[in-house]
Structure 1
Amino acid sequence: MKRNQLIRSVLLAWVISLSPIYGSAAPIDYELVDIYGENKQISDYQGRLLFVNFWATWCGPCIREIPDLIEFRNTFGDRIEVIGIAFEKTPVDQIRDFAEELNINYPVLLIGDEPLIPMEPLKGLPSTFVLSSTGELLKTHIGPVTANQLERWLLELDAQVEN
């Protein structure tokens, strides 16, 4: 129960840290480390729609959706970015080997050690969040996704922008 609460707290805190808080004009920038040891800030990915996917190597549905995330990024990578956040305490070299074995073509970041802000807990893995080019939370989905589903979301968001 406590692990599930921790997962939820960290996820929501991270997503909320990307969104404008209390009417601020810009999202709070947040930094995580990727599987190669490089620090990455969320602002590094701003300017395009951002599909943030929380997953774990021990999560069967997470693993099954990875080929769809890869396909989605291959198809729409000029307009969007996908980020995978490994939500586990597995040694980084094992996560890196796992990502390389699956030919993951998007950045994989590590969750870190501490929850950022105690918020309402995450409901499960995998979880995907869609953020606007400025960091605003646009969509939340708990459970696995498909490339077709991600494409539908992209088309829906495009239609909203046009209206």
Structure 2
Amino acid sequence: MNNKKRKRLIIRSIVLLALAGAIVFTIYSGLTRETQNILKVGDDAPDFKLTDLNGNSHQLSDYKGQGVFLNFWGTWCAPCKKEMPAMGRQYEVYKNQGVQILAVNISESDLKVRSFADQYGMVFPTLIDKTKSVMQAYNVKPLPTTLLIDPEGKIAKIITGEMSEKDIQEYMESIKPN
């Protein structure tokens, strides 16, 4: 009988230690997540390299000297569907004035993204962040989120939510090189 009690005590102790370890890990993970660098206006835009639907590589630092309209989106996102045609029209106006659009899809299939791009006439580089590493580097939570990056590579503005065509025009004008 004494042997059974000892085994039960050992098993209970192991289970308690495992639970305590899980709780400590959860608390630690939550605290360290909160201390990640949150990007803000004036910060250097983190550099990244992604591939577009045509297989061309795009690195943010290659656009230094130009304004970059960095838009994070998803095919399921209703506001994204509404603003893509307006972004395309404004891209045609500003692309020769030193303002580029990089549309970063969050981890969807090439087929789904290509179909969406064709349907909404996306004429600007359409990139897919397959690992969500760029999304995480930019702390993107809701979609759509757009970051305006000035010609020096600094974050000029962070916009969450849907933009009107007038908004898009004003934002592109604001990051146009002198």
TM-score, scaled relative to structure 2: 0.66
* Superposition deviation, residue 83 in structure 1: 1.0
Residue 149 (structure 1) aligned with residue 159 (structure 2): no
Residue 54 of structure 1 aligns to a residue in which SS? strand
For the aligned residue pairs, the C-alpha RMSD in angstroms reads: 3.0
Matched letter for residue 67 of structure 1? P
Which runs of 5 or more structure 2 residues have no equivalent in the other structure? 1-32
Aligned to 1:60: 78
Matched letter for residue 103 of structure 2? G
Aligned to 1:137: 155
Find the partner of 2:54 among 36, 40, 44. 36
Greater C-alpha radius of gyration: 2
Q: Structure 1 residues 124, 132: closer, same or farther in 2, change over 3 A?
A: same
In structure 2, distance between residues paired with 1:119 and 1:83: 16
Deviations along 1:112-151, one digit per CA (max 9) or x if unpaired, are: 3153696684331111110011211000000011221122
Which runs of 5 or more structure 1 residues have no equivalent in the other structure? 1-8, 21-26
Q: Structure 1 residues 94, 75: closer, same or farther in 2, change over 3 A?
A: same
* Preserved CA contact (<8 Å) 1:130 1:140: yes
Matched letter for residue 112 of structure 2? Q
Q: Structure 1 residues 120, 35: closer, same or farther in 2, change over 3 A?
A: closer
In structure 2, distance between residues paired with 1:68 and 1:77: 14
Find the partner of 1:82 among 97, 101, 105. 101
Aligned to 1:3: none
Q: Structure 1 residues 103, 91: closer, same or farther in 2, change over 3 A?
A: same
In structure 2, distance between residues paired with 1:120 and 1:29: 10
Matched letter for residue 119 of structure 2? E
In structure 1, distance between residues paired with 2:172 and 2:143: 21
Number of corresponding residues: 140
Aligned to 2:127: 109
In structure 2, distance between residues paired with 1:151 and 1:61: 17
* Superposition deviation, residue 44 in structure 1: 2.8
Aligned to 1:24: none
Q: Would you tell me which structure has more helix in proportion to its own residues?
A: 2
Structure with the bigger RCO (C-alpha within 8 Å, sep 6+) is 1
Residue 53 of structure 1 aligns to a residue in which SS? strand
In structure 2, distance between residues paired with 1:146 and 1:100: 21
In structure 2, distance between residues paired with 1:120 and 1:47: 20
More deviation, 79-88/145-154: 145-154
